[in-house]
C-alpha cells in the first residue's frame, strides 16, 4: 500500500498540452476516480503513473520517493486495461502466474499464491481453461487477479467497464467495489461515467481540458461544485445554470433572472459574502431542486416531457433560458405548453462568477 503524490504534473505532446499543473495526493488505500470527458487528460495522468508515458514537467512520488526514473516494470503498479489485455493464447492459470514467473518467484510459492488468488476471485474451476472465449466478467476478474497476485503497491484501472453493456455494468461495479474492499489497496480509477465514479470512489477528481478542476467526495462534488464545468458535468441531467443579475429587495439580495422571474432572497455562506457578489452572476440549481409551487416566483413554459420511469424530466423554456426539472411521477405533471410556476430552496442555490466560472459562495 502506497500513497501517490502528483505535484505540478504536466504533459505536452508537441504544441498540445494534454495535462497541466496537476496536483493531487492519493492516500494509502484510497479509491480515487479520475472523472472527465474524452481528452481531459485522465488517461494521460494514469499512463504517467504507470510509466507508459513520461511527464514533461512535475513529479510523481510513491510514499515520498520520486519514481520518474523507475522503469515501468519495477514500479509495482497493477494496471487493468480497458479491454483487460488478457493473454488469450494462454490458460487462465498461466495468465495468473505470469507476473510471478517474470519476477522469479519459486514454483511452490507461485502455485500457492495463484491458487489463493483463484479462490478469492472464484476462478478455480476454470484455471486450466484457455483464456480466449471467457465471458467479460471472468475476464475482468482475471485481469484484476493477474495484477493483484504480484501484490502491486497501487492499482490503476483504465475504464474497465466501458466495454460492458449497461445492464451488466451495475453487477460489475459492485463486484469491483467488493474486490477493492478485499484488497484494501490504493486504487486509481479512470472513467468518463459519473455513475461509476459516484458509486465506487472515496474521492473523485474531476478533470477537463488537461486541468484538475475539483477533488472531493462524491457528495461534495455533487452538492458543491466549485466550477460551472463540474456543475454541468455531474448529475444527470447536470445543474441548470442561468444568467442573472443581483438585485436588491426589502428581504435582502436576490437574483433577477429577467423573463423567468426573481429568485427568493439569497442565503449564502462560505467564501463570498453577499455584499461581494459581482452584479452579473450565474445562477445554478439542480433539476431535482425545482419545486412546483403555485406561489413560486419563477415561471417557464413546459416544452417537452421525458418520462423515465419513476421520475420525469421536464424541459422548460429554451436555449440560454432553458431549465431542466426532474419531478416525481407522484405529482400531477403539467402539460406541454403550460406555464410551470416553481421555487428553488435558497439554500440549494449555487452561484458562479460568469468570467472565471468559479463558484462564489453558497456552501451550506
Q: Are 51 and 75 in contact (CB under 8 A)?
A: yes
List strands edge to edge, sheet with 311-316: 291-292, 339-343, 298-307, 311-316, 323-328
130 counts as binding other proteins under rule CB under 8 A: yes
Per CB under 8 A, does 160 bind other proteins? no
| From 13, 23, 63, 102, residue interacting with other proteins (rule: CB under 8 A) | 102
Q: Which of 146, 192, 203, 315 binds other proteins (CB under 8 A)?
A: 146
Question: Which is nearest to 123 in space by CA: 156, 164, 95, 161?
Answer: 95
Stretch that binds other proteins, among 49-57, 240-248, 249-257, 336-344 (CB under 8 A): 49-57
181-184, long-range: CB < 8 A, 24+ apart: 182/120, 183/148, 183/155, 184/1, 184/29
Per CB under 8 A, the segment of 11-19, 76-84, 106-114, 305-313 that binds other proteins is: 76-84
Q: Does 79 bind other proteins (CB under 8 A)?
A: yes
Element (H, E) at 220: helix 218-223
150 is a site residue for other proteins (CB under 8 A): yes
In the complex, least distance from residue 34 CB atom to other proteins, rounded to whole angstroms: 18
- Name residues contacting other proteins, limited to 224-253 (CB under 8 A): none
Site membership for other proteins, residue 151 (CB under 8 A) = no
Of 186 and 263, which has the nearer Cβ to other proteins? 186
Using CB under 8 A, which of the segments 127-135, 218-226, 341-349, 351-359 binds other proteins? 127-135
Nearer to other proteins, 147 or 240 (CB): 147
The DSSP letter of residue 131 is S
137 lines the binding site for other proteins (CB under 8 A): yes
DSSP code at position 65: E
91 part of the interface to other proteins, by CB under 8 A: no
Stretch of residues binding other proteins (CB under 8 A), selected from 18-26, 47-55, 200-208, 306-314: 47-55
- Residue 111 vs 130, nearer CB to other proteins: 130
Residue 130 to residue 268: CA distance in whole angstroms = 61
Cell 503498479 belongs to residue? 77
Binding segment for other proteins among 24-32, 75-83, 198-206, 300-308 (CB under 8 A)? 75-83
DSSP 196: H
200, three cell numbers = 465506487
Contact segment (CB under 8 A) with other proteins among 84-92, 254-262, 279-287, 338-346 equals 84-92
Q: Which of 8, 23, 25, 52 binds other proteins (CB under 8 A)?
A: 52
Q: Write the CA distances from 191 to 81, 82, 94, integer angstroms.
A: 12, 10, 29
Residues 103-122 that bind other proteins (CB under 8 A): 103
Contact 335, 341 (CB under 8 A): no
Is 70 a residue that touches other proteins (CB under 8 A)? no
Name the nearest CA neighbour of 179 among 142, 217, 133, 204.
142
Instruction: Compute, in degrees rounded to 10, the torsion defined by CA atoms 17, 23, 26, 27.
Output: 170
Q: Copy the grid coordinates of residue 300.
A: 417557464
Interface positions with other proteins (CB under 8 A): 50-52, 72-75, 77-79, 81-83, 85-90, 98-99, 101-103, 130, 132, 135-137, 146-147, 150, 168
Amino acid at each position: 500500500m502506497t500513497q501517490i503524490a502528483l505535484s505540478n504534473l504536466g504533459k505536452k505532446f508537441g504544441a498540445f498540452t494534454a495535462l497541466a499543473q496537476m496536483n493531487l495526493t492519493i492516500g494509502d488505500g484510497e479509491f480515487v476516480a479520475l472523472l472527465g470527458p474524452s481528452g481531459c487528460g485522465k488517461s494521460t495522468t494514469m499512463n504517467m503513473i504507470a510509466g507508459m508515458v513520461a511527464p514533461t514537467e512535475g513529479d510523481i512520488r510513491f510514499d515520498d520517493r520520486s519514481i520518474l526514473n523507475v522503469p515501468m516494470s519495477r514500479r509495482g503498479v497493477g494496471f487493468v486495461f480497458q479491454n483487460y489485455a488478457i493473454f488469450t493464447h494462454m490458460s487462465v492459470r498461466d495468465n495468473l502466474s505470469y507476473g510471478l514467473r517474470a519476477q522469479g518467484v519459486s514454483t511452490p510459492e507461485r502455485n500457492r499464491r495463484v491458487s489463493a488468488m483463484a479462490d478469492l476471485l472464484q476462478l478455480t474451476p476454470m484455471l486450466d481453461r484457455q483464456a480466449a472465449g471467457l465471458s467479460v466478467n471472468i475476464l475482468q476478474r482475471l485481469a484484476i487477479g493477474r495484477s493483484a497476485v504480484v501484490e502491486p503497491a497501487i492499482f490503476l484501472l483504465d475504464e474497465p467497464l466501458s466495454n460492458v453493456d449497461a445492464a451488466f455494468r451495475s453487477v460489475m461495479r459492485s463486484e469491483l467495489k467488493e474486490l477493492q474492499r478485499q484488497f484494501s489497496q490504493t486504487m486509481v480509477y479512470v472513467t468518463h461515467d459519473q455513475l461509476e465514479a459516484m458509486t465506487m470512489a472515496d474521492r473523485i477528481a474531476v478533470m477537463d481540458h488537461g486541468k484538475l478542476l475539483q477533488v472531493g467526495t462524491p457528495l461534495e462534488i455533487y452538492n458543491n461544485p466549485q466550477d460551472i464545468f463540474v456543475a454541468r458535468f455531474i448529475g444527470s441531467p447536470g445543474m441548470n445554470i442561468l444568467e442573472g443579475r443581483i438585485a436588491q429587495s426589502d428581504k435582502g439580495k436576490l437574483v433577477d433572472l429577467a423573463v423567468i422571474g426573481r429568485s427568493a432572497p439569497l442565503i449564502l455562506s462560505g467564501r463570498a459574502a453577499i455584499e461581494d457578489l459581482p452584479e452579473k452572476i450565474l445562477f445554478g440549481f439542480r433539476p431535482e431542486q425545482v419545486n412546483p409551487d403555485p406561489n413560486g416566483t419563477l415561471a417557464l413554459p413546459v416544452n417537452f416531457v421525458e418520462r423515465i420511469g419513476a421520475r420525469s424530466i421536464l424541459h422548460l423554456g429554451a436555449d440560454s433560458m432553458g431549465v431542466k426539472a426532474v419531478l416525481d411521477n407522484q405529482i400531477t405533471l403539467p402539460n406541454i405548453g403550460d406555464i410551470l410556476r416553481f421555487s428553488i430552496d435558497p439554500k440549494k442555490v449555487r452561484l458562479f462568477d460568469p468570467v472565471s466560472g468559479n463558484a462564489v459562495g453558497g456552501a451550506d
